[in-house]
Structure 1
Amino acid sequence: MFRAFALRAGGVLALLALWWAVAEAGIWSEVFVPRPSSVWDKLIETSTVHDGARGYADHLLWEHLGISLRRILLGSLYGIVGGIAVGLLIGLVPTVRALLGPLVTFVRTLPPLAYFSLLIIWFGIDETPKVILLFVAALPPVAVATADAVRGVHEDYVHAARSLGASRWQIPPLIVLPSALPEIMTGIRVAVGVAYTTVVAAETVNGVPGIGGMIRDAQRYNQSDVVVLGLLVIGASGLLIDGLLQFTERKLVPWRGRA
């Protein structure tokens, strides 16, 4: 465990050292490659009240992050629930598979910005289109993982359950879903990652407060130090959430990789 931690810490330090060296070399303007010290100053500046200004765009950094995380949480939660339901239907019912399978694949291949404008026309510029965008982005990975996992459940499990008296409606929740849970958890991790990568697109319109909106707003004024800070905050929070998901996976499916 210590060796793994040391390797990860060493990798991070090496990247920081490379960043510092490139910035100090002055090969590019600081607009293109901001110094680590400039990003650190922006971290302090956006996290405090300074010269009468409160954070960035009158919101502190943690407030921007909290609002984005709320959007990600809602969109991911809806996408996970919907994806599991759709995946179960696709995996268990051939007719539904023929109807919904191509639709899920079609939506999965669409870039978020391709249909975000349409969502804005339908639902306005408030929270609804942002959450729906994250929901649509998060649903296909869970649906595909669930459908593939359900089709991969060994028939012996189903036959054994039926021989013990399980009804037709008890098979999916009691046998199929637990057997498919390891692959579903992988789909959930992918879905949350997709939601994270989509949050900047979701906050392109009326996205402030929000960490993605902060990045987009800073980009308009060539504030690359704020842009880098926002990216680092999204990445760090994403690592934390993914770690929590891995911990949850180990608790829910402790047999994975052992049986």
Structure 2
Amino acid sequence: MQLVETHAHIYLDQFEKDLDEVIERSKELGVEKIFMPNIDSESIDAMLELEHRYPGYCIPMMGLHPCSVNKNFEKELYVVEDWLNKRDFVAVGEMGTDLYWDKTFFEQQKEAFNIQSKWAIDKNLPIVIHCRESIDETIELVSDLKSENFRGIFHCFSGTLEQASQIVELGFLLGIGGVATFKNGGLEPVLEAIGLDHLVLETDSPYLAPVPHRGKRNEPAYLDLVAQKIASVKQITKNEVAQATSENAQRIFN
């Protein structure tokens, strides 16, 4: 069984002491690639160092996280643009909107979203979208930018079936992670109704660990638990989930 981890921040300090063991566990559980979303200018060096340590296994993206967008966000975007122009990345991300902590810079978040999306379209790259407490607003942003090669992943999807259907209609994938295993996560109707060809797996490590590890540090090896949950809801084998979602991940990241 081969799994693809589409979203893990394993370059963060939470993994500093045992990263080699984390990688080894992920390989033992069948994780064949780990895609790493960027956060902002301060995370780039650590992320690229991991790419160097585990070439072909830890694969970086480049983008500006919405929680790092403030009144000086243009300076951060200059850094993102510079990196996108001087080497290849598999996606523009992590980018998006966030209304959970603070609504102060929402207009700036939308501007940063549009700018990064247009870079992705120009470079024929997918985008990886963060949309905490802002799914409807983000669906609207994507709809306004719709073009032939505009595609990507709504990371850490935790919305309704109606929202999921809108996202699929736009040609985007749903990133399914630990929330799927939560008792009140609310994702079972989505997993029942949405076909495997629209899903990819993720952990968002070190955050949102699945049951039975909820509340602890998440890691890519736990992707196996997410795959098992989807298989259980859909009444299919875990191998079927792994094969379909891995093919989707490889296709979206080219």
Whether TM-score is above 0.5 comes out as no
Structure (1/2) with the larger helix percentage: 1
Which structure has more relative contact order (CA 8 Å, sep 6+)? It is: 1
* TM-score of the pair, normalised by structure 1: 0.23
Structure (1/2) with the larger strand percentage: 2
Q: Which has the larger radius of gyration?
A: 1
